[in-house]
Structure 1
Amino acid sequence: MMSSLYLVFLLVPLVSAQTFRWGACPNPMVQPNFNVTNYLGRWFEIEKLPASFERGKCIEANYALRKDGTIQVLNSQFYENKFSTGEGTAVVHDPREAAKLGVSFSFISPYSPYWVLTTDYESLSVVYGCTDVLHIFHIEFAWILSRSRFPTAETVSSGKELLMNEGINLSMMTATVQTGCED
């Protein structure tokens, strides 16, 4: 028990730029009959829970199907006066729950949950990810994405409402700056 507490105290500084909460991850409902092919393409980040790897503006994600059936994830942002990208891989672990994807940005890191809670494929996607740490606390990620840099307020509100209805605390959610971006 003492070693577990020691490990927790060592991990806390690492998650300071993340959203962490005590207890187990919630288990929200995901998009039924999710169609990966319809989801592919460009999505703009509109709002998010803090993530240490996303600190810039003009954040977007592009998804493309690879020949091997995996999904290429190409994230980009403008930060500290430069444009940067990160490439990862997404996989569908279970075709019966295709909206529960896993994503990894390194050959050595495990796949992290990337669950599509809802999408209409044309204007809105609400994504959630959560990882338990020793069943003591969990690290959460949540994104409201849109095919447009500037979705309607109603679109964003409906995404937030869905997250709240699933028991996800949005008190730390912030808007992503999408002005001054080049297309």
Structure 2
Amino acid sequence: MTAFQVLSVLLLAAAAAHAQSFHLGSCPTASVEKDFNITEYMGTWYEIEKLPAVFERGKCVQATYSLLSDGTVSVRNAELLSNGKINSIEGVARVKDPSQPAILAVSFFKGIEDPYWVLSTDYRSYALVYSCSNYLGLFHIDFAWILARTRALTDDIISQQRDKLAAAGVDINRLTVSNQTGCDAMA
């Protein structure tokens, strides 16, 4: 197998495992929420829009965050599958550097941490989260979520968050609207 073939297999495997697409080059530089207050961020957030993620297959996607006594954060992501069952996963997030509390690392599997950057939030209605990982210095895979405290968000706020992603160099044309209807089973 040639070096090009090995690289192609690695790229495809990484893309399949972590996202539906990847981008050549390094992750864009994004500014995070200044003076982020992790305590105010705790609670349930509903996914309004996202960059495609193969690990999300359902609707009514939501994340619940709880502060733990050691300063880490319990994370529970849940979605409603087409068969009516709730699919969920639990993990832990931690602030990587106390001087930058909006930059967290989240882990759902032992030994594997992924970035979780809170780019923008007002804590009571919306949050904008970005995650990006570089691979082999050749390409990156990114995720983004526009979140809300309710299952809907005004078009104005969505537009503002999309603009912030675009200003950070994120391809907002790939954002998809999340289905937050028929979510009674999630209550």
- Hey, what does 1:34 align to over in structure 2? 36
- Matched AA of 1:91: R
Q: Where do residues 108-147 of structure 1 align in structure 2 (5 Å cutoff)?
A: 108-109=111-112, 111-147=113-149
- Hey, what does 2:59 align to over in structure 1? 57
Work out the CA distance in 1 between the residues paired with 2:98 and 2:5.
38
Per-residue CA distance 1:118-156 (angstroms, 9 max, x = gap): 000011100001000101100000000000101111111
Which 5+ residue runs of structure 1 have no aligned equivalent? none
Which 5+ residue runs of structure 2 have no aligned equivalent? none
- Hey, what does 1:175 align to over in structure 2? 177
- Hey, what does 1:9 align to over in structure 2? 9
Aligned counterpart for 1:100 among listed residues 81, 100, 103: 103
Q: 1:27 Cα shift?
A: 1.2
Q: Which runs of 4+ in 1 moved over 3 A?
A: 2-5
Whether the 8 Å contact between 1:149 and 1:178 is mirrored in structure 2 is yes
- Hey, what does 1:155 align to over in structure 2? 157
| 1:163 alignment partner, SS class | helix
Work out the CA distance in 2 between the residues paired with 1:176 and 1:49.
10
Aligned counterpart for 2:89 among listed residues 86, 89, 101: 86
Per-residue CA distance 1:74-120 (angstroms, 9 max, x = gap): 000011311111001000010111000010101132x1110000000
- Root-mean-square deviation (CA, aligned residues, Å) is 1.5
Whether the 8 Å contact between 1:115 and 1:127 is mirrored in structure 2 is yes
- TM superposition score normalised by structure 1: 0.94
Whether the 8 Å contact between 1:19 and 1:49 is mirrored in structure 2 is no
| 1:171 alignment partner, SS class | helix
Q: 1:170 Cα shift?
A: 1.4
- Matched AA of 2:103: K
Q: 1:19 Cα shift?
A: 3.3
Work out the CA distance in 2 between the residues paired with 1:12 and 1:135.
15
